[in-house]
Copies of this chain bind each other. A is one copy, B any other.
Amino acid sequence: MGSEMLDHAVQSLREHGVRMTPQRQAILEYLVTEHSHPTADDIYKALAARFPNMSVATVYNNLRVFKDVGLVQEMNYGDASSRFDFVTSKHYHIICDTCGKVVDFNYPVLDEIEAVAAQLTGFKVDRHRLEVYGTCPTCQADQSHTH
């Protein structure tokens, strides 16, 4: 299941003339396997055991490559580091203000707002970005206890 997505991703990279290296493979695997919306540093730390000499720059380089090929989506919240999400199907994100957890949820793609924006502003629209913010169930529970 995950392996299928991985194979597809590798093939997609090959078609773009991107070479496969062990580090690249590992970063990709991590993104496919974990659904944790990791930061570059998360990935770096997670793979430190297998690749003690891997550079942080390698993580960033590869994330950029994946992004350029369209395999990965970069998300940037406020002050913190960017988070990276392996693109599977169309979904939006909801983010916990307290603990930072990111959860996917499905919702029909908002094509209409793109059309309206284009009409009102004269922009040629490429894409949009939508995120919902709030408090996750866990943090809600914590808050009522502490209170």
Which residue from B114, B123, B130 sits with its C-beta under 8 Å from A129? B130
Chain B residues positioned under 8 Å from A128 (CB to CB): 130-133
Instruction: Give the number of times this chain occurs in the complex, counting copies.
Output: 2
Q: 23 interchain pairs (CB within 8 A)?
A: A76-B76, A78-B82, A79-B82, A92-B117, A94-B123, A105-B120, A105-B121, A107-B116, A107-B117, A110-B110, A110-B130, A113-B132, A114-B132, A117-B132, A118-B134, A123-B132, A123-B137, A124-B134, A124-B140, A125-B132, A127-B134, A128-B130, A129-B130
User: Chain A residues in contact with chain B, CB under 8 A?
Assistant: 74, 76-79, 82, 92, 94, 96-97, 103, 105-107, 110, 113-114, 116-118, 120-137, 140
